Amino acid sequence: MTSIAEEGAVIRMFHVHKRYGAKQALVDATLDIAKNEFLFISGPSGAGKSTLLKLLYLAEPVSEGQILVDGMNLSRISRRRIPLLRRKFGIIFQDYKLIPTRTVYENVALVLEARGKKRSLVEKKVKSVLRVVGMEDRLTAHPPSLSGGEQQRVAVHVP
């Protein structure tokens, strides 16, 4: 295994605390995640796993402490650069974040369209990612008609 000193940490958390009002969700979390490191974070329901991720892509501000992601100090990042930070993450949300009134194809295409990609490229990319997750024959289905696992597979956005 390569050490952090050799590779450099891509994510660093220093003494991070997160409170939601009076609720303490994270207490003094310090960790380094190295490039190419594969890390599992486990813990009981309500332990703070989703909170930890939300702090990393700035869905929630920290209450105390510092976080660095790929050299960016999240307490100093400008609003303009937040989308750049978020593009570094591929996240499968517990609640899927799919738009129920749009088809599988439209849901996956939306992000690429918002980024101004050409229609032909969007079509190619959407079909290719849906093939990877075995959902290429459900392009015209709407999320409520899919199983939980199928919705999760559609929600995988391969960058």
Interacting residues with ligand ATP (CB under 6 A): 20, 23, 25, 43, 45-51, 94
| DSSP assignment letter at 56 | H
Going across the sheet that includes 23-34, the strands are 23-34, 9-20, 64-69, 72-73
Q: What Rg do the C-alpha atoms of the chain give, in angstroms? A: 18
CB of 47 to Mg ion, least distance (A): 8
Q: Which does 51 bind (CB under 5 to 8 A by kind): Mg ion, ligand ATP, none?
A: ligand ATP
CB of 46 to ligand ATP, least distance (A): 4
Identify which of residues 47 and 121 has a Cβ nearer to Mg ion in the complex: 47
- Which 3 state secondary structure label does DSSP give 28? strand
CB of 1 to ligand ATP, least distance (A): 27
CB of 151 to ligand ATP, least distance (A): 16
| Residue 119 burial (CB count, 10 A) | 10
Identify which of residues 23 and 76 has a Cβ nearer to ligand ATP in the complex: 23
- Which 3 state secondary structure label does DSSP give 11? strand
Q: Which residues contact 118 (CB under 8 A, 6 or more apart)?
A: none
Q: Does 50 bind Mg ion (CB under 5 A)?
A: yes
Which of these segments, 29-37, 47-55, 101-109, 129-137, binds Mg ion (CB under 5 A)? 47-55
Single-letter amino acid, residue 116:
G
Give the footprint of Mg ion on residues 13-42 (CB under 5 A). Answer: none
C-alpha 9/C-alpha 68 separation (Å) is 9
Identify which of residues 90 and 116 has a Cβ nearer to ligand ATP in the complex: 90
The residues of the shown chain that bind Mg ion, judged by CB under 5 A, are: 50
